[in-house]
Amino acid sequence: MKAVTRKSLITHPCTILTALLLTVAPATHARDIGNNLRLLTLPQGFSIDIYADNVRGARSMAYDPTSSTLYVSTRERQVYAVIDDDKDYKADKVETILDGLNSPNGIALHQGKLYVAEQHRIVRYPTHSKPGLPLAKLGEVIHNRLPDKAHHGWRYIEFGPDGKLYVAVGVACNICDFPEPEGTILQMNPNGSEVKIFARGHRNSVGLAFHPVTGALYFTDNNTDLMGDDIPPGELNAAPKAGMHFGFPYYAGGHVQHRRWMSKKLPQEVTFPVIEFQAHVAALGVEFYTGNMFPDSYKNTAFVAQHGSWNRSTPVGYRLVHVNFDDKGEVSGHTVFAEGWLQNEETWWGRPVDILQLPDGSLLVSDDYLGVIYRITYTG
């Protein structure tokens, strides 16, 4: 297991650095990272352990409670099934169920189907097939008009309380004019019909979740690079209705504008983030907590995974934050929930990506650098 230090962060050219940090670490075993778990700090009463290891490049997650199967995506070519045969909340095996795909980062389960969003299309598969029958042959393409561009080409998908599929489509640049559907969140029926633009003006969202009470869509956004260590901020946005615009590229992030865009006319009123995170923390997965394991104060609040910076002289992020909500269902603040993947502001050994709640109320967290899935529990 190799950590990355501040020295290595600032001595590589940007292009080499990006490739370095986006390279997935070699597959590891639980015994190899067990000692590092003691470096992680969580609120009193919470603990973290390894749910599954050898899940190379683990990114987005979807859980099927009927089979105790966790589906895990990657930004490379594979989709995995992580299977807990004895239902003890420890994975018994990891199987590659799909391979040769085009950056299949986005996955979701809906009515017995597994939806996989590749860079250029969305395909749905049956979750149960006859033994020996390749799952890839059973896939049904429901949408094939996503921009086939690698820059910010890892899609994120989620089903809303309305039964519609929501798809985040990133912008294939740092900051520029771009053609739609780049920079939008699409809405469509489960069969791919009636595609509409639900929201505009994000740069690269890799996390969507719906408030369990209000039904509002919340999504993270990773904003413009190369403007400095401390600007622009990262974002958590709220979209309670369709048709809103969240500012990009007229705003590089939060309330900060890029000098080349200050004089350009806004196409419509801009909605600013409900939270402005520290610049470059790379906020990704979002999950609302509805379980009964954690204390009642966590009910209907959210967790956000901060993947960590690649473009800052002193690294930031590499942690989980907790977002609190008031009685009206509006954001009232956020605090650090779990940290320690970054040590001494210069060395990091893991990168949280996505968060998912299990039926027992525990949380799973994927780490694409180590290729593991963590499980967070509360015992009081």
Segment-wise mean pLDDT, segments of 10 residues, the chain, 380 residues: 51 35 43 84 97 96 94 97 93 95 98 97 87 81 98 98 98 97 98 98 98 98 96 98 98 97 96 98 98 98 98 96 95 98 92 98 98 96
Q: What span, in angstroms and rounded, lies between the C-alpha atoms of 281 and 349?
A: 15
pLDDT at position 11, please? 35
Total number of domains constituting the chain = 1
pLDDT at position 133, please? 64
Q: What span, in angstroms and rounded, lies between the C-alpha atoms of 331 and 302?
A: 9
User: How far apart, in Å, are the Cα atoms of 278 and each of 161, 236, 306, 316, 361?
Assistant: 30, 11, 10, 8, 29
pLDDT at position 10, please? 37
pLDDT at position 21, please? 38
pLDDT at position 4, please? 64
**Alpha-carbon torsion, ordered 250, 167, 97, 129, to 10 deg:** 180
pLDDT at position 121, please? 98
Domain with 261 in it: 4-378
Q: What span, in angstroms and rounded, lies between the C-alpha atoms of 264 and 257?
A: 11
Q: What span, in angstroms and rounded, lies between the C-alpha atoms of 171 and 219?
A: 15
pTM confidence score: 0.93
pLDDT at position 139, please? 96
> Which sign, positive or negative, has the C-alpha torsion 149, 150, 152, 153?
positive
pLDDT at position 35, please? 83
Can you give the CATH number for the domain in which 200 is found?
2.120.10.30
244-245 and 79-83 strand pairing:
unpaired
Contact by Cβ (8 Å): 304, 320: yes
DSSP state of 189: -
Q: What span, in angstroms and rounded, lies between the C-alpha atoms of 59 and 367?
A: 7
Question: What are φ and ψ of residue 21, in 5° steps?
Answer: -75, -20
Q: 110, 111, 78: which is closest to 95 by C-alpha?
A: 78
Largest CA distance in the chain: 61
pLDDT at position 380, please? 86
ω before 233 within 30° of 0 (cis)? no
